[in-house]
């Protein structure tokens, strides 16, 4: 392999954020799928806005705020018990089908999780999915309170690993994350699961694939 470390984004890259739609449908019926999609979009929007405004709060709190906002917009009945249950479901998201096998194929490498998620979300998620043991490091922006795609967030990974950006391959399904990581100086792999078009942010990933297995095929 070419890189000293393989750094993985979590939400949308290793885990399907929309696997929560089943639980949303349980509570919100025919609005469930739309709520799960809007919840994710508002979650990201709040991260970006709070980063710009300099009003950081942990990802868990952002996830809760985003859910409450979307439920208010959709005018659905919600209680603290429902909120708690849905937030718990975020700790049990489904990994994508090829993830475990791909990690097994890379197990001799230095594998790292790097996420906007806070540790009280990441550790339960990785443990529940039985993926925790594949990763040598779990790195959260919560340690420095700077959300991706801030350059300070990506620098934090380099500091934790004591590596130069060019020694790291950063993997994400999120085009905005790939753009931020590319501008920072990481080598990047866009896991384009949704088969969308790369955002016009003057950044070109080193690899563009549909899933992790395809990437490994290109790396070996």
pLDDT tens-place string over residues 26-45: 999 999 999 999 999 999 99
Structure tokens, 153 = 């967030």
Label residues 71-91 b or e (16+ Cβ within 10 Å = b). Answer: beeeebebeeebeeebeebbb
Structural domain boundaries of the chain? 5-16+95-219, 17-92
Q: How many residues does the chain have?
A: 220
Q: Are 181 and 161 in contact (CB under 8 A)?
A: no
User: What pTM, to 2 d.p., does this model score?
Assistant: 0.95
Q: End-to-end distance of the chain based on CA atoms, in angstroms?
A: 7
What's the CATH code, domain 17-92?
1.10.150.240
Q: What is the DSSP letter of 136?
A: S
What are the catalytic residues?
Answer: 9
Q: Are 178 and 196 in contact (CB under 8 A)?
A: no
Predicted local distance difference test score (pLDDT) of residue 220: 78
Read off the pLDDT of residues 55-100 as tens digits, 9 standing for 90 and up: 999 999 999 999 999 999 999 999 999 999 999 999 999 999 999 9
Q: How far is Cα 178 from Cα 9, in angstroms, rounded to an integer?
A: 10
What's the CATH code, domain 5-16+95-219?
3.40.50.1000
Predicted local distance difference test score (pLDDT) of residue 199: 93
């Amino acid at each position: 392999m070419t890189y000293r470390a393989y750094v993985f984004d979590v939400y949308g890259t290793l885990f399907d954020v929309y696997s929560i739609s089943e639980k949303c449908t349980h509570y919100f019926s025919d609005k469930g799928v739309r709520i799960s999609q809007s919840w994710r979009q508002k979650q990201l929007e709040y991260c970006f806005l709070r980063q710009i405004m300099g009003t950081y709060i942990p990802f868990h709190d952002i996830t809760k705020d985003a859910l409450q906002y979307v439920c208010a917009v959709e005018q659905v009945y919600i209680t603290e018990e429902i909120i708690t249950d849905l937030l718990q479901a975020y700790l049990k998201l489904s990994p994508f089908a090829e993830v475990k096998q791909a990690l097994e194929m890379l197990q001799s490498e230095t594998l790292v999780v790097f996420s906007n998620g806070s540790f009280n979300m990441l550790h339960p998620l990785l443990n529940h999915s039985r993926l925790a043991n594949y990763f040598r490091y779990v790195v959260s922006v919560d340690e420095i309170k700077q959300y991706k795609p801030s350059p300070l967030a990506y620098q934090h990974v380099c500091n934790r690993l004591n590596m130069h950006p060019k020694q790291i391959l950063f993997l994400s399904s999120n085009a905005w994350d790939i753009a931020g990581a590319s501008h920072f100086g990481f080598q990047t792999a866009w896991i384009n699961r949704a088969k969308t078009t790369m955002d016009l942010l003057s950044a070109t990933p080193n690899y563009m694939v549909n899933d992790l297995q395809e990437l490994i095929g290109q790396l070996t």
